[in-house]
Every structure is written in structure tokens, then in C-alpha cells.
Structure 1
Amino acid sequence: MMGVRKREALRSLVLTALAIFVMFIILFPVYYIFIVSVTPGSTLATTKLELIPHNASLDSYREVLFGFRGSEISENFTGTIEGTAQIQNGKLYVTNGKLIGKVKYGPFTGLKFEVPVSKAVFEVGSGTTVNQKFSGKVRGLFVLTRINEDGSIGFGIVRNLELSDPARGNLTEGPTGRNYILIRNSGEVTFTRVGKFVNSVFFGYLKNSLILATLTVLLALFFVVPAAYAFSRMKFFGREHVLYFYLMFTQVAGGLGIAGLIALYGMLVKLGLYDKLPVLSFIYAAGSVPFNTWLLKGYIDSISPDFDEAALVDGASYLQIIRYVLLPMALPGIATVAIFAFIGGWTEFILASLLLTEKNQPLSVWIYTLMGGIGRGIDWSYFGAAALLFALPVFVAFMLAQNYIRSGLTIGGLKE
């Protein structure tokens, strides 16, 4: 008896160790990307493997979420201008000075900047006088496209610059083409926490991904649930073959590859539907309908038809049966379909890069652009943090719905 127990304990120990080893192999790439993301200056192009990070830091995550990474900022600002000034022929010339501006988002300051002024010209009212040392209030448009590593402005411009008249207090605008300040590798800009959040590249692409994935799920469920019910419960000509033919056709059509993409691109351009997020969601949902219909049909098949018949006897319509009888019982299968549709809309890359311009592209395309020069010049810590943040919503959704998915994939419906 003791020998049997020892063998069982040893067998359990070996199987547990094997399971842990397999899980380690599966999850190791994720762990390695995490190590890269928390190691400043880390690289993938090396034979050196560090399983424990040294000098770990969350700076890369902070930069992804709240950092400025070259996206253009074009915002109105208010501020002051000071320097040496003189008036000639009704024009105020400000030289050898500086402009200090502030951009606000609602009641909160988003960023502050200071740029040198070598020449700024304003129309002023007659009778205006100023001292040689001049200071006045200004407003305008601040455009920023690049920040250098030392915090200076790589390239920017102050446009539509207006000055509060020192004598009369009214706003006057400089001559056309002259009321701007060009900034190249000079001045400095400082973002507040609010400003970094608002101007983060990550959240813009995140919004696009959420719109795509959410619309894909809603559209997929809208078509899949009634279709799965019809294939499972109703009798019509070709029922046994239509769905399987549809599945096979979509798989064969997928092999057409580039030709199909070119045809799809041409049709959308002709119809004026290029660069439309909802249109891409329809395409994603249409591609997921065959497989998900087949999957949900299998789950509904396991639910006893007696419930449908009882509802019909009580006077319920088919739509009422679907809403009040089928949906509650088929919730695990529906959750599985929703997760698959969400993952498809969240991770798809090829169609999104082809059919959307940069402003409407999702996170999947943006992350690929971070690898523009594979092997060289890539901030791998930044890339690793972005990749893990991109995967986080899928992981969270899967964990929240794992019980439904488990029973949905094993067709754990009610038995007769």
C-alpha cells in the first residue's frame, strides 16, 4: 500500500514539474520582453541573456503612456514677450528678447515653453510709445513637431502672433507672413503631467484600437447569434452544407492574398470608404462570421430544443426565444465568440495598415512602426513596454471571461 502511494506521489510530482516546465517555455518570451522593457538601453540583438534585470526602471512605461514621441502639437497659447523694442511707421519691432508661453487644457496647464525672439513685428495704434526695454502680453498658435534629447525644441513654430497694444490694450496682429517665430534647435519646452497625458501618442492609437475592436464584437454578435440559432434549430434547404461550404470558401479565398487585398482596396476607394474605422470593423466582423457561427452553432446544439418548444407553446416569437431563452443559456458560447472577435479586431495588422491613414491607425500598426529600422536605432525598452501594454487588454478580457470560454470551447451546454 505504501509503495502504491509513493508511486502516485512521485507521478504527481513529475507531472507537476513537467507542467511548470511547459508553462515556463510558453511564457518565457513574455517574461523576456518584460525584462527588456524595464532595462534602460536594453537590446534584443545580443547573445547575452539576463534573466534578472539590473537597474530596473519603469521609465519606458512612463514614456509610452505620458511621453512626447514626435507627434505634432498645434495648440493656442497665451504668454508674454520681452526684449528690445522700437516703433517705426506704425510698426513695433521686438528684437533680442524671448517669448514665454503657456498652453492650457481647460483649467489645467499642459505645457510651458520659452523661445528666443530675434525679430517680431506688430501693427500698433497711432500714438503708441514704448521704452527701449519692452514687455507685453501675447497670444497665438504654438506648433511643435520635435523635441531634442536635452529638452530643447528641435523644430517648432509660433504662428498668428498677436500683441496687446501697450497704450490702448487692444489686440493687434502683425503683417501677413511676418507674425511668426521659427524655432530650430533652440528654446525649451516643459510638459506637465496633464500635458503629457493629453499629448501621448499611445492613447490616440489606443482609442482607435478600442473603437475597431468594440465595433467588431458588436457587429459579429449581431450576425452570428441569429445565424447560429437558425443553423441549429431551423430546417431549410442546404442547411447541412451551406455553413461548411462558407467556411471552406473563406479559407480558399484567404489564399488569394495580395489579389484580394488589392481588390478590396480598389472597391473601398471607389465607394469613398477608404480611411473609415467603422468600415474596417465591418470587414473584420464579416471575416469572423463563418467560424464563429460554426462555433456557436455547436454550443446551441448541446442545449435541449425542449426549451424552445416550451417557449413557442407559451406564445413566444423566435426573437423572444433568442433573447429570453437562448442568450442566457448560451452565454458561455457567446462570450467565446466575443473574445475571438475582440482579439481579431485588436490584433489585425495588414488591413489596418493598408486601409487607414496614420491618424486612424490602431496600436498594432503603431507598434510595427516603432521597428522602422530593425536591428539598429530602435529603443527596445520603449518597444517592449508598448508591446506589453498592447497585449494587456486581451489578457484582461481573457481572464475575466475564462470560465465562460472554458465551457464554451468544451460545448458544456445543458443536457436533455
Structure 2
Amino acid sequence: MMGRRKGEVVRSFLLTLLAIFVMFIILFPVYYIFVVSISPGSTLATTEFHLIPRNVSLDSYREVLFGFSGSKLSENFTGTIEGSAHVQDGRLYLLEGTIKGEVKYGPFTGLVFEIPVKNLVFDVSTDVNAQGQLKGEVKGLFILTRINDDGTVGFAIMRNVELKGGTIEGTHVSGPMEKYVVARNSGTLRFTNIGKFVNSKFFGYLKNSLIIATITVLLTLLFVVPAAYAFSRMKFFGREHVLYFYLMFTQVAGGLGIAGLIALYGMIVKLGLYDKLPVLSFIYAAGSVPFNTWLLKGYIDSISPDFDEAALVDGASYLQIIRHVLLPMALPGIATVSIFAFIGGWTEFILASLLLTEPNQPLSVWIYLLLGGIGRGIDWSYFAAAALLFALPVFVAFMLAQNYIRSGLTVGGLKE
């Protein structure tokens, strides 16, 4: 008896070690990406790897969440202009000076800049000749496409610049500028925290992903719940074969690959639905209906039909049965379907890259496009941080709904 118990302990210990080893193999890539994300200047080409990084830095996460990184900013600005100038024949000639401006988002300042300028010409409403130091207020459109590592403006353009009001040796001047101002590797610029948040590419793509995934979940539930109830409870001709055929058809259609994408693209463009986020969600939801209907039907089958019959006797309609009886009791199955639909809408990138333009593309496409920097000095710390942040919502959703998912996948509904 003692030897048998000892053998069971040894067996349990060995199985535990095996489980730990398997989990280590499965989770090691995730841990490796995490180490890369918090290691400054790390690359996958290094010959060394430390399980515990020597230098820890959150700069990559800060850059992903609140970095500009070359995306285009185009916003109205207000500011001041100072410099040596003279007025002659209704024109103000600014020989050399500085424009100090700021971009606001509502009442909050998003960024401030200071750019040296020279040889600017304004059309002003005065014929009085004067010269001296110009001081005035300006407004216009500030377009920024690059910031240098040292904080200087890499490339920016100021368009539609207008001198709202100013003085030069007692002469009041105002008027529009003839040209636009180009700033290349000159001047300084500073984003505030509000500006970093608003202009972060990550949050823009995150918004698109949330819209697509949320609409996908809602549409999936709208189609799947009634369909699963009908297949589980109602008797109609071909009930035993329709869902099998539907599943088989979607698998065959999925195998068409590029031909299917071309046909889908042509149809979307012909209908004028190109670059519409809800359309993409509708496609995702339609593609997931067969599998999720099958999944939810299996769970509803495990719920006793006596509840439905009791509700019918009390005068409830089928919609009331679904809402007040089925939904509360089938919550684990519905949660499982919702998670699968959310993951499908969150992670898909082929259709998203094909049917959406860059401003409307989700995080999945942005993450994929980051890989385009391979061979051209991609920042692997930046990529690793972006990849982990992209995976975080799915992880959180699984953690919050894990009990429902476990019950939904094991078909643990109420039984007679």
C-alpha cells in the first residue's frame, strides 16, 4: 500500500514537471517578446539572450502609446510673429524673424513650436512705408510630417498664414501671406501629453479596431442567437442537413482564396461600400455565423425544453422566450460566441488591408505593416511593445470570461 502511494506521488510529480515544461515551451515566445519590448535598442539579431534583462526601459511602450513617429499632423495654429521687416507699396517684407505657435485641441494645448523664418511677404492694408521690428499675431494651418531625434522639426509646412494684427514702428498691419512657409531641420517643437495622446497612431488604429470588433460581436449575436434557437427547438424540413451544408459550403468558399477576395473586392466597390468599417464587420459576422450557430446550438440543446414550454403556456412569444428565458440560461454559450467573434474581428488583417484605406485600418494591419521595416532598421523593441499591446485586449477578454467560456465549450447547461 505504501509503495503504491509512493508511486502515485512520483507519477504526479513527473506529470507536474511535464506540464510546467510544456507551459514553458508554449509561453516562452510571449516572454521573449516581453523581454525585447523592455530592452532598450534590442534586436532579434543579437547573439545573446538574458532571461532577466539587465537594463529595463519602458521607452518603447511610451513611444507606441504617445509617440508621433512620422505620422502626418495637419491642424490649425495660432501664435505670434517677430522680426525685422519693412512695409513698402502695400506689402510687408519680413527679412528675418520667428514664428511661435501652438495647436489646441479644444481648450487644451497639444503642441508648441518655434520656427525661424525669413523673406516672407504679406499683403497688408496700408500704403504707409515703415521699417523696424515687427510684432504681431498670426494664424494658419500647420502640417508636420517628421520630427528629428533632437526635438527639431524635421519637415513641416505652414499654409494659409495670415497676419491677424501687428505693429511696425507705430504702423498697424494685417493681411495674408503670399506663399507658404517650409521648415526643414530647423526650429523646435514640443508635444504636450494631450498632444501625444491625440496624435498617437496607436490610439487612432485602436479606435478602428474597437469599432470593427464591437460591431462584429453585435451582428454575430443578432444572427446567431435566433438561428441557434431555431435549429435547436423548431422542426422544419431539412433541419438536420442545412447546418451541415452551411458549414461545408463556408469551408469550400474559404478555400477559393484569392479568387474569393477578388470577387468580394469587386462587389464591395460596385456597391459603393469601399472603406466602410461596418461593412467589414458585416463580412466578419457573416463568415462566423455557421460555426458559432453550431456552437451555440449545442449549448441550447443541453437546456431543457420544459422552460420554453412553460413560457409558451404563460403566453410568451418566441422573442420573449429568447430574451427572458434563453439568454440568461445560455449566457456561457453566448459569452463563448462573443469572444470568438471579437477575436475574429480584432485579429483579421487581409480583408482589412484590402477593403480599408490607411486612416480606417485597424491595429492588426498597422502591426503587420511594421514588419515592412525588416532589412531597413526596424525597431524591434517598438514592434514587440506594439504586438503585446495589440494582444492585451484579447487576453483581458479571456480572463474576464474564462468561466463562461469553459462552461460554454463543455456544454454544461441545465439538464432535466
Which runs of structure 2 are paired with 1:156-167 in the superposition (5 Å)? 156-163=156-163, 164-166=165-167
When the two structures are superposed, what TM-score results if normalisation uses the length of structure 2?
0.96
Indicate if the aligned counterparts of 1:124 and 1:165 stay in contact, CA closer than 8 A. no
State the percentage of identical aligned residues. 78
Deviation at 1:194, TM superposition (A): 1.0
Which runs of structure 2 are paired with 1:4-403 in the superposition (5 Å)? 4-126=4-126, 131-163=131-163, 164-166=165-167, 171-175=174-178, 178=179, 180-403=180-403
Deviation at 1:187, TM superposition (A): 1.4
For residues 326 and 55 of structure 1, the distance between their equivalents in structure 2, rounded to whole angstroms, comes to: 54
Closer, same or farther in 2 for the Cα pair 1:331/1:289, shift >3 Å? same
User: What's the Cα RMSD here?
Assistant: 1.4
Indicate if the aligned counterparts of 1:160 and 1:173 stay in contact, CA closer than 8 A. yes
Deviation at 1:133, TM superposition (A): 2.3
Tell me the SS of whatever aligns to 1:68.
coil
Q: Which runs of 4+ in 1 moved over 4 A?
A: 127-131, 167-171
Deviation at 1:169, TM superposition (A): 6.1
For structure 2, the 5+ residue unaligned runs are none
Deviation at 1:373, TM superposition (A): 2.9
Indicate if the aligned counterparts of 1:165 and 1:172 stay in contact, CA closer than 8 A. no
For residues 376 and 75 of structure 1, the distance between their equivalents in structure 2, rounded to whole angstroms, comes to: 30
Deviation at 1:156, TM superposition (A): 0.8
For residues 360 and 126 of structure 1, the distance between their equivalents in structure 2, rounded to whole angstroms, comes to: 48
Indicate if the aligned counterparts of 2:130 and 2:171 stay in contact, CA closer than 8 A. no
Indicate if the aligned counterparts of 2:126 and 2:173 stay in contact, CA closer than 8 A. no
Q: Which amino acid aligns with 1:173?
A: P
For residues 6 and 144 of structure 1, the distance between their equivalents in structure 2, rounded to whole angstroms, comes to: 72
For residues 246 and 102 of structure 1, the distance between their equivalents in structure 2, rounded to whole angstroms, comes to: 58
For structure 1, the 5+ residue unaligned runs are none
For residues 194 and 160 of structure 1, the distance between their equivalents in structure 2, rounded to whole angstroms, comes to: 25
When the two structures are superposed, what TM-score results if normalisation uses the length of structure 1?
0.96
Alpha-carbon displacement from aligned partner over 1:198-230 (angstroms, at most 9, x marks no partner): 100000000000000000000000000000000
For residues 228 and 358 of structure 2, the distance between their equivalents in structure 1, rounded to whole angstroms, comes to: 37
Closer, same or farther in 2 for the Cα pair 1:347/1:99, shift >3 Å? same
Deviation at 1:345, TM superposition (A): 0.2
Alpha-carbon displacement from aligned partner over 1:346-396 (angstroms, at most 9, x marks no partner): 000100000100010000000111111324410000000000000000000
- Give the paired residue count: 413
Indicate if the aligned counterparts of 1:284 and 1:344 stay in contact, CA closer than 8 A. yes
Q: Which amino acid aligns with 1:102?
A: E
For residues 110 and 142 of structure 1, the distance between their equivalents in structure 2, rounded to whole angstroms, comes to: 12
Q: Which amino acid aligns with 1:13?
A: F
Deviation at 1:37, TM superposition (A): 0.5
For residues 130 and 390 of structure 1, the distance between their equivalents in structure 2, rounded to whole angstroms, comes to: 60
The 10-residue stretch of structure 1 (97-106 or 27-36) with the greater mean CA deviation from structure 2: 97-106
Alpha-carbon displacement from aligned partner over 1:167-216 (angstroms, at most 9, x marks no partner): 686742123xx2x2111121121111111011000000000000000000
Q: Which amino acid aligns with 2:175?
A: T
Alpha-carbon displacement from aligned partner over 1:6-35 (angstroms, at most 9, x marks no partner): 223222222222111111111111100001
For residues 364 and 128 of structure 1, the distance between their equivalents in structure 2, rounded to whole angstroms, comes to: 61
Alpha-carbon displacement from aligned partner over 1:59-86 (angstroms, at most 9, x marks no partner): 0000000010111111111111111101
Alpha-carbon displacement from aligned partner over 1:133-190 (angstroms, at most 9, x marks no partner): 2222211111101112222212110111111142686742123xx2x21111211211
